[in-house]
């Protein structure tokens, strides 16, 4: 009897034992995305991606769940991933894209029976689609080859592998120009198939959606289904590289004419949507040409008079996404405020707004479902799950819980919201993340986290790379300051970084780590500093000014030499705005002398891990090579982690595991001696 009791206790202990977060567990978490609401407002359509480390890839399946709550219903079980899931306007079918047949085509699933039918057979497939208001047509995007390859130009040299360019933008983010352009097409339903009717951008050497991150949100049907509205930056080469002046265009299917609806508006204009009564078009708009992180406003255009109103001009918030109310009297939007992403309500007539949600979390999407807002929500400790928010009470309720089986067993970490005084007397919100079972009587190695962007908030994001729970689980305290140059604290705080990369933002970083280091539980002799992109730049810069604070550094895809970076990056509007322009002649921008980390190498003396991907064209791999070579020549302990097939991010599952193993190996080597 005693033996049975002991066995029972041991078994129960194994069931309820907590687990340490690990890189392998991160890849086991389900990734929930999408929140398409059925026409009757009662059901949410979404996707869930799961990764298999052994086969080194992921698979995305589609699900629905009632807005009132319940058990998710799995709709697809294909071996490949399904995406671009969309409700048919009649609510009886769901359209989606899949490469199940070997090429990406469109499929329709009958909701009642689950029957799936392939409804397109387009040559070259399609990359995205949207139903017309009646569902009798679709618009879709497809790559159209318009330029000659070298083998087509010199037909006798079929083995030549050469590219010839005579203008800029020959490569972008992670891919070289491939002689093709993304165009918008439309097709008409005939029986159970959609039949191609036309390319509304025929012959144009422009891309819609815009590269590299644009999606179907940039294209929409007009209210009557006889017009198509789309976002495009109709520029090429140098002009494209130095401008953010995109526009909203309207194409009429009958007249086949295209008109620019935002002529004279100089910044990004994108994502056309419509009020339910069809009277107004709305879109997101930035005012300044060349500033990719300018304030994002909601602009509404009267389709009868063409009169435009900026509804959020006087609100010191930058909008991420939004949706109209049923009556058209309100707009609900999502935006970052004080290092969290929340829902807001905007009165269209009075332009007054109020915050609807609060808490330590980020809403990452927004949709309207009757009396609820529905969106994906995450925090530093939890990946995306679907939530609903009552418009009447403000109550926030989880609809899905795909990751509870893993998260519930993890050792808990705690997060402190700490206000740090900066060198110029400002209050800076800084997150401090503590290890599981934190004991203030012990001392912990501590890491300063430097955010990228540079205009990207240190909010309640859940990262599958820079995961604060994972770092804390390895026994580290993490200090994550919302330094100068981040949104959510007013536009001035966001803008203050431009032209001052190595100035006040660096002081902000040091203020944060110095403030937290005063605590008795921080091991001041074992501080590390990490970051990616601008955060990687920050690491290189701090390595030259830290005055022995840190024992090691890790820089992922960081900018090292601003002159050579300006000469090899692609989106020059970013460099022109944030660095101040080019590096030659009388107009040489001061940043090259004042803020380039390579000018501080003579002061480097601390071990450094450099990480870079070959296909990173925003911050080319040579930036990492230059930094690593400098450290090696100075005799500084250093390592170069190089990913031939990765770009600005590490997306391959097994590569991701290597990244984490090398990352923590380096930290442990220098901070846990």
Active site residues: 533, 616, 648
Query: Is residue 481 classed as helix, strand or coil in its secondary structure?
Result: strand
Instruction: Give whole-number Cα distances, 560 to 250, 433, 563, 630, in Å.
Output: 43, 28, 9, 10
- What does the alpha-carbon distance between residue 424 and residue 420 come to, in Å, rounded to a whole number? 11
Note the Cα 30 to chain centre separation in Å.
17
Within 8 A by CB and 6+ apart from 542, the residues are 448, 450, 506, 509, 510, 529, 550, 553
In contact, 132 and 139? CB cutoff 8 Å: yes
Structure tokens at 25: 């567990």
Residue corresponding to tokens 């980390």:
597
- What does the alpha-carbon distance between residue 627 and residue 543 come to, in Å, rounded to a whole number? 11
Query: Is residue 85 classed as helix, strand or coil in its secondary structure?
Result: strand
Helix%, strand%, coil% for the chain, nearest 5? 20, 35, 45
- What does the alpha-carbon distance between residue 444 and residue 586 come to, in Å, rounded to a whole number? 50
Structure tokens at 128: 């995205």
Q: What angle do CA 272, 278, 284 make, to 5 degrees?
A: 20
Note the Cα 488 to chain centre separation in Å.
16
- What does the alpha-carbon distance between residue 98 and residue 87 come to, in Å, rounded to a whole number? 16
Residue corresponding to tokens 């269209």:
348
Burial bucket for residue 16 (CB in 10 Å: 0-12, 13-18, 19+): exposed
- What does the alpha-carbon distance between residue 274 and residue 16 come to, in Å, rounded to a whole number? 51
Instruction: Give whole-number Cα distances, 19 to 15, 137, 409, 410, in Å.
Output: 11, 51, 6, 5
Phi/psi for 421 (5° steps) reads: -80, 125
Q: Helices 504-517 and 534-542 meet at what angle, rounded to 10? A: 70
In contact, 430 and 512? CB cutoff 8 Å: yes
- What does the alpha-carbon distance between residue 184 and residue 186 come to, in Å, rounded to a whole number? 7
Within 8 A by CB and 6+ apart from 333, the residues are 298, 312, 319, 320, 321, 322, 323, 343, 344, 346, 366
- In terms of phi and psi (left: phi > 0; alpha: psi -120 to 50; beta: otherwise), the region of 597 is alpha
In contact, 195 and 188? CB cutoff 8 Å: yes
Instruction: Give whole-number Cα distances, 553 to 255, 528, 541, in Å.
Output: 60, 6, 11
In contact, 64 and 72? CB cutoff 8 Å: yes
In contact, 469 and 431? CB cutoff 8 Å: no
- What does the alpha-carbon distance between residue 626 and residue 649 come to, in Å, rounded to a whole number? 19
Structure tokens at 532: 């990616």
């Amino acid at each position: 009897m005693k033996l049975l009791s002991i066995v029972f206790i041991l078994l129960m202990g194994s069931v309820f034992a907590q687990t340490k977060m690990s890189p392998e567990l991160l890849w086991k978490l389900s990734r929930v995305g999408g929140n398409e609401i059925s026409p009757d407002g009662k059901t949410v359509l979404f996707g869930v991606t799961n990764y298999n480390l052994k086969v080194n890839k992921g698979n995305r399946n589609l699900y629905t769940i009632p807005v009132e709550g319940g058990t998710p219903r799995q709709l697809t079980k294909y071996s490949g991933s399904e995406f671009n899931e969309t409700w048919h306007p009649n609510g009886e079918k769901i359209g989606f894209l899949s490469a199940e047949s070997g090429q990406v085509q469109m499929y329709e699933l009958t909701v009642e029976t689950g029957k799936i039918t392939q409804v397109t057979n387009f040559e070259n497939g399609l990359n995205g689609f949207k139903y017309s208001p009646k569902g009798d047509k679709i618009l879709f995007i497809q790559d159209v080859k318009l330029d000659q390859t070298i083998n087509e130009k010199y037909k006798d040299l079929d083995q030549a592998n050469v590219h010839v360019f005579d203008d800029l933008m020959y490569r972008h983010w992670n891919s070289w120009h491939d002689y093709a352009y993304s165009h918008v097409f439309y097709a008409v339903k005939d029986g159970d198939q959609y039949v191609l009717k036309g390319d509304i951008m025929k012959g144009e050497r422009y891309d819609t959606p815009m590269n590299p991150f644009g999606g179907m949100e940039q294209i929409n049907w007009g209210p009557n289904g006889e017009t198509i509205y789309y976002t495009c930056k109709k520029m090429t080469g140098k002009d494209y590289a130095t401008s953010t002046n995109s526009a909203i265009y309207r194409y009429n299917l009958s007249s086949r004419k295209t008109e620019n609806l935002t002529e004279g508006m100089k910044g990004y204009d994108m994502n056309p949507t419509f009020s339910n009564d069809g009277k107004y078009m709305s879109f997101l708009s930035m005012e300044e040409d060349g500033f990719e992180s300018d304030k994002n406003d909601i602009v509404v255009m009267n389709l009868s008079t063409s009169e435009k109103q900026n509804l959020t001009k006087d609100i010191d918030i930058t909008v991420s996404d939004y949706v109209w109310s049923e009556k058209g009297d309100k707009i609900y939007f999502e935006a970052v405020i004080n290092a969290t992403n929340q829902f807001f309500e905007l009165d269209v007539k009075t332009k007054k707004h109020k915050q609807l949600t609060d808490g330590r979390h980020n809403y990452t999407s927004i949709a309207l479902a009757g009396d609820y807002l529905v969106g994906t929500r995450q925090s530093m400790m939890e990946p995306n799950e679907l939530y609903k928010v009552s418009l009447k009470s403000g109550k926030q309720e989880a609809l899905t819980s795909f990751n509870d089986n893993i998260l519930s067993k993890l050792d808990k970490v705690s997060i402190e919201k700490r206000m740090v005084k900066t060198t110029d007397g400002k209050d800076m919100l800084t997150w401090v993340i503590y290890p599981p079972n934190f004991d203030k009587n012990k001392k912990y190695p501590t890491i300063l986290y430097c955010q990228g962007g540079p205009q990207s908030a240190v909010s309640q994001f859940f990262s599958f790379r820079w995961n604060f729970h994972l770092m804390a689980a390895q026994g580290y305290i993490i200090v994550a300051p919302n330094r100068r140059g981040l949104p959510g604290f007013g536009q001035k705080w966001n803008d203050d970084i431009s032209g001052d990369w190595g100035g006040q933002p660096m002081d902000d970083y040091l203020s944060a780590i110095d403030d937290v280091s005063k605590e008795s539980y921080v091991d001041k002799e074992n501080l590390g500093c990490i970051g990616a992109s601008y955060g990687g730049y920050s690491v290189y810069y701090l390595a030259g000014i830290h005055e022995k604070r840190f024992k090691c550094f890790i820089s992922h895809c960081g900018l090292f030499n601003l002159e050579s970076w300006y000469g090899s990056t692609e989106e020059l509007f970013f460099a022109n705005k944030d660095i101040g322009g080019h590096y030659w002649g009388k107009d040489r921008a001061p940043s090259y002398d004042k803020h380039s980390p390579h000018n501080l190498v003579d002061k480097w003396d601390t071990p450094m891990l450099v990480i870079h991907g070959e296909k990173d064209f925003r911050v080319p791999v040579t930036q990492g090579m230059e930094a690593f070579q400098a450290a090696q020549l100075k005799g500084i302990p250093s390592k170069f982690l190089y990913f031939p097939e990765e770009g600005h991010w590490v997306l391959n599952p097994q590569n991701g595991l290597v990244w984490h193993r090398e990352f923590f190996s380096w930290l442990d080597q220098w901070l846990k001696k």
